[in-house]
């Protein structure tokens, strides 16, 4: 079995030995324009690969995306239409994601934002502590990661609601499905967590109208994709203190531009797309399962290219 590997921005030397270990016997090669022309891969293990990889490898049986979001991959005009695209589903990311979101929740709900401002002015002023139930969490996007995050936050004692295209059953979590349920969901949400992928259906979904419907003193945590949130509307709501704050890990253009006003807003926490890194080991184990299933002709859950996940 031949595997072509490419992961933009990653240290390849971390990946290649693990691939060889988990998939012994596979001839795994790093993508390069200078590959032997007669060498054809059966599978592509890729993160944000160049278009040329698919022009060169024309006999692929599966394209495995080494991350949860497939937006960059699906945007490639030369992506072969007849080859299943498979993506990582959780693969260890839900744990990192939950930690990240817990940090944001605690930062605002336990008034660390206020204490930071007080510290700068040498002010000693204790605030009352709210109950966790005063901070209802609404999760946009209840896929593998969203559902697991929702379950864990509910176990922590928060009131958690999830919004997704179709109804989802997660113990302790109230499910809202479809456009018609969005307003009811927003009106009960104080911490809006975006875990939606970027697609034609989700881009700009979190706009001014959506932000207006959140409970007073709301917080936005964006860990899905930057394109889902309308940045000018978010900045406006933060400036007017219609929102208490935001914690942002993803942006429409990354790195976030030097002149973005978000950098200097004291109610905003910015991180450089680190909320849930891909675990190499988990990713390759999942790739192995996909390859195994395809090899046996078993059904695999391929990405729906129209939905974008
Ligand atoms: C990270 O952003 C991913 O999509 O896995």
**273 in active site:** yes
Is residue 307 assigned to a domain? no
The ligand 1 atom nearest the CA atom of 70? 4
**Is the same domain home to 86 and 174?**
no
pLDDT at 36: 84
Instruction: Give the tens place of pLDDT for each residue, 234-287.
Output: 999 999 999 999 999 999 999 999 999 999 999 999 999 999 999 999 999 999
* Percent with pLDDT over 70 in the chain: 100
**Is the same domain home to 146 and 53?**
no
Q: Which of 87, 96, 252, 278 to mutate to test the pocket of ligand 1 (most atoms within 8 A of CB)?
A: 278
Tokens of 16: 């290649």
**Is the same domain home to 154 and 173?**
yes
**Is the same domain home to 168 and 119?**
yes
Dihedral sign computed on CA atoms, order 153, 155, 159, 164: positive
Range with the poorest average pLDDT among 30-39, 165-174, 255-264: 30-39
Instruction: Give the tens place of pLDDT for each residue, 188-210.
Output: 999 999 999 999 999 999 999 99
pLDDT at 200: 96
**Is the same domain home to 157 and 200?**
yes
**Is the same domain home to 36 and 172?**
no
Consecutive H or E run containing 222? strand 218-222
Instruction: Give the tens place of pLDDT for each residue, 44-62.
Output: 999 999 999 999 999 999 9
- Whether residue 298 is predicted with pLDDT greater than 90 in this model: the reply is yes
Consecutive H or E run containing 18? helix 12-22
Range with the poorest average pLDDT among 30-39, 114-123, 190-199: 30-39
The ligand 1 atom nearest the CA atom of 276? 1
The CB of 104 under 6 Å from ligand 1? The reply is: no
**Is the same domain home to 283 and 193?**
no
Is residue 306 assigned to a domain? no
The domain that holds 32 is classified in CATH as: 3.40.50.720
The active-site residue, picked from 225, 239, 242, 244, is: 225
Q: Residues 82-91: what's their mean pLDDT?
A: 97
**Is the same domain home to 37 and 120?**
no
The active-site residue, picked from 132, 201, 273, 305, is: 273
To 10 degrees, what angle do helices 280-295 and 12-22 make? 40
pLDDT at 107: 98
pLDDT at 37: 84
Residue 261 DSSP code: G
Distance between Cα 292 and ligand 1 center (Å): 23
Distance between Cα 166 and ligand 1 center (Å): 22
Q: Which of 69, 72, 85, 287 to mutate to test the pocket of ligand 1 (most atoms within 8 A of CB)?
A: 69
pLDDT at 33: 87
The CB of 67 under 6 Å from ligand 1? The reply is: yes
Distance between Cα 43 and ligand 1 center (Å): 20
Q: Residues 164-190: what's their mean pLDDT?
A: 98
Tokens of 57: 């490898």
Residue with tokens 């390069």: 32
**Is the same domain home to 98 and 71?**
no
Per the structure, the count of domains in the chain is 2
The ligand 1 atom nearest the CA atom of 250? 2
Protein residue closest via CA to atom 2 of ligand 1? 69
CA distance 202 to 149: 20
Range of the domain at 32: 2-91+278-295
> SS3 for 210?
helix
The CB of 68 under 6 Å from ligand 1? The reply is: yes
The CB of 303 under 6 Å from ligand 1? The reply is: no
CA distance 163 to 186: 9
**Is the same domain home to 97 and 234?**
yes
pLDDT band at 157 (very low <50, low <70, confident <90, very high): very high
pLDDT at 35: 83
pLDDT at 81: 97
Average pLDDT of the residues of the chain: 97
Taking CB atoms within 8 Å and a gap of at least 24, the contacts of 161-168 are 161/136, 161/137, 161/185, 161/188, 161/189, 162/138, 163/138, 163/139, 164/140, 165/201, 165/307, 168/142
Protein residue closest via CA to atom 5 of ligand 1? 67
């Amino acid at each position: 079995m031949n595997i072509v590997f490419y992961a933009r921005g990653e240290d390849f030397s971390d990946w290649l030995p693990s691939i060889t270990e988990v998939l012994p016997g596979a001839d795994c090669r790093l993508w390069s324009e200078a590959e032997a022309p007669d060498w054809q891969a059966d599978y592509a293990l890729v993160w944000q690969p160049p278009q040329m990889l698919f022009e060169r490898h024309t006999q692929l049986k599966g394209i495995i995306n080494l991350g949860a979001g497939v937006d960059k991959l699906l945007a490639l005009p030369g992506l072969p239409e007849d080859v299943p695209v498979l993506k990582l589903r959780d693969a260890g990311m839900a744990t990192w994601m939950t930690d990240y979101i817990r940090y944001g929740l605690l930062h605002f709900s336990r008034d660390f934002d206020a204490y930071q401002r007080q510290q700068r002015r040498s002010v000693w002023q204790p605030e009352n502590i709210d109950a966790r139930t005063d901070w209802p969490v609404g999760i946009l996007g209840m896929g593998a990661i969203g559902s697991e995050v929702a379950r864990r936050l509910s176990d922590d004692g928060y009131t958690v609601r999830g919004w997704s295209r179709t109804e989802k059953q997660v113990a302790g979590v109230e499910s809202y499905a479809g456009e018609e349920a969005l307003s009811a969901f927003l009106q009960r949400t104080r911490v809006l967590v975006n875990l939606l992928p970027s697609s034609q259906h989700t881009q700009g979904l979190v706009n001014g109208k959506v932000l207006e419907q959140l409970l007073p003193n709301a917080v936005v945590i964006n860990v899905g994709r930057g394109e889902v949130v309308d940045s000018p509307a978010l900045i406006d709501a933060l400036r007017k203190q219609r929102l208490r704050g935001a914690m942002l890990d993803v942006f429409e253009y990354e790195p976030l531009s030097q002149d973005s006003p978000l950098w200097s807003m004291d109610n905003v926490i910015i991180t450089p797309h680190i909320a849930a890194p891909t675990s190499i080991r988990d990713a390759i184990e999942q790739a192995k399962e996909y390859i195994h299933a395809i090899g046996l002709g078993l059904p695999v859950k391929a990405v729906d290219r129209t939905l974008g996940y």
